[in-house]
Structure 1
Amino acid sequence: MKMQHKDFPVTLFQPEKENEKEYTVIIYHGWGGSGQSFYEMAEGTANEGFNTIVPELIYHDTRSPLENPFDKKTMQKYFWETIFKSINEFEDFTKALNLKKKKLILVGSSMGGFIASGIYAANPEIAGLVCVNGSGSFLFTEKLFRKMDNRDFPSGAELDLFKKYDPIGKVKGNSPVLLIHGDGDTIVPIEGQKHFYEYLLQNDIRVNFNIHNNVNHKFTSEMVDEVIQWIKQIG
């Protein structure tokens, strides 16, 4: 069911009433993608009894979409801006949709994994986090991106901005986390996910890290099954 809230358009997948669980799943898509690519997965979580929300992200779908999102300069300008804005608007998003944070499980793929991780770190009452082929270690991963592109590392105001949003050093809750990544990922290096995993372990967060061998930057059907089974354990 499409909900056209004036500020936060989303697609809502509702379970059968007799099967309805108390938790709601929110699924964040990746850069240059759309929520529609996760409708099948959302139907899967709804079939398990979870109300599931697939939000439209800024600069995607109907929210001021970019003409050529995969242009290198466009990505460098808007990738992190999309992440930071999505984290910023989460408070208003939950109020607009009348959602209780303690009953939310966040799932993010690629850029959506960054978004979900940032929201999780800023909202300790969130019930759980799944990050697939993304990273919850922002500055560390940005340095990897810049090394790949032969760009200078961030400095000055850029560093301050990353430190403001970076989940590293900010996770205060103890809600469980599932990290999934392909070890052959050439888009979002697995090292960023590993760095986040080590940080969570050191801070006694309940975290599982599932690595898929010989998988590039892809959300496979096996990964989808892992996510749904993990969500069922939480909810």
Structure 2
Amino acid sequence: MEQRAEINGIPCLVMGNGAPRCIMYHGWGSRKEVLQFFGSILAQNGFTVYIPDAPHHGERGSFDYHSAEGKERFWDVILEMVEEYPQLAAGLPGSGPLFLVGSSMGGFAGSAMFARHRDVAGIVNLMGACAWEKAEEVFRRMSGRPAAEDEELARIREYDPLPLLKEQNRPMLLLHGSSDPVVPVEIQRFAYKELGQPEAVTFTEIPRIGHTTTLWMAEETVRWLKGHV
């Protein structure tokens, strides 16, 4: 049964009582409760799951996420998530291995957290991106905006997980729908190729699936996490 808790000031849902721990991050414009069912599946399989509200989401406020002005805050929110990760992680009880699971925006942020913190045992990235500069290029192309100038890319490049991940060979599961119209799979294809397709990284495209989490993804997440505890 889940319970609400504040961990170092960050509102979270907490469920399960297993030794392996897992932080789950939701997507843009969403909230922690949306991942409740997914989290319960992990909890039933022996994990303690923590699902925080992202900054400016859920209990932490809101804005018009889908307006032009709102979309301009996308990277700012992600960077806030990355910067507050140590605050959240420091408040987690227990000493078992810690994994990250991120959906969409949560996958973007989780990849940077994973790249920067070697004590994280592994990450499952669902519909997110490990290559931030490539993602910005694709997003601008999709919206008809001109290519970003160097000064616009400065913060993205500073936190982009791909350069750090290229120096590592750590466990990652990348699951992405082949028909995703929101975060096109080409971004993760690019990242996987740039990583050199290392043995520790599993990249799976799910045919005919868009920007959504399926039951198969949840099952594969459980299987993969259990194999890396």
- Superposition TM-score tier, normalisation by shorter sequence: over 0.9
Instruction: Give the counterpart of 1:74 among 58, 70, 83.
Output: 70
Give the structure 1 partner of residue 135 of structure 2.
141
Moved over 6 A (4+): none
SS at match of 1:169: helix
Q: State whether residues 124 and 174 of structure 1, in contact with CA within 8 Å, keep that contact through their aligned partners in structure 2.
A: no
| Offset of residue 43 of structure 1 | 0.9
TM-score, length-normalised on structure 2? 0.93
Matches within 5 A, 1:26-65: 26-65=23-62
Matches within 5 A, 1:64-213: 64-66=61-63, 68-75=64-71, 77-98=72-93, 103-171=97-165, 172-201=167-196, 204=198, 206-213=200-207
RMSD: 1.6
- For 2:141 and 2:69, the matched residues in 1 are separated by 15
| Offset of residue 196 of structure 1 | 1.5
- For 1:33 and 1:110, the matched residues in 2 are separated by 10
**Percentage of matched positions with identical amino acids:** 29
The aligned amino acid for 2:146 is D
| Offset of residue 99 of structure 1 | 6.4
Q: Deviation per CA, 1:106-148: give whole Å up to 9, x if none.
A: 1011111101111111112210011111101000011000001
Unaligned 5+ segments in structure 1 are: none
Unaligned 5+ segments in structure 2 are: none
Give the structure 1 partner of residue 9 of structure 2.
7
Q: State whether residues 7 and 88 of structure 2, in contact with CA within 8 Å, keep that contact through their aligned partners in structure 1.
A: no
| Offset of residue 96 of structure 1 | 2.8
151-160 vs 139-148, which deviates more? 151-160
SS at match of 1:85: helix
SS at match of 1:170: helix
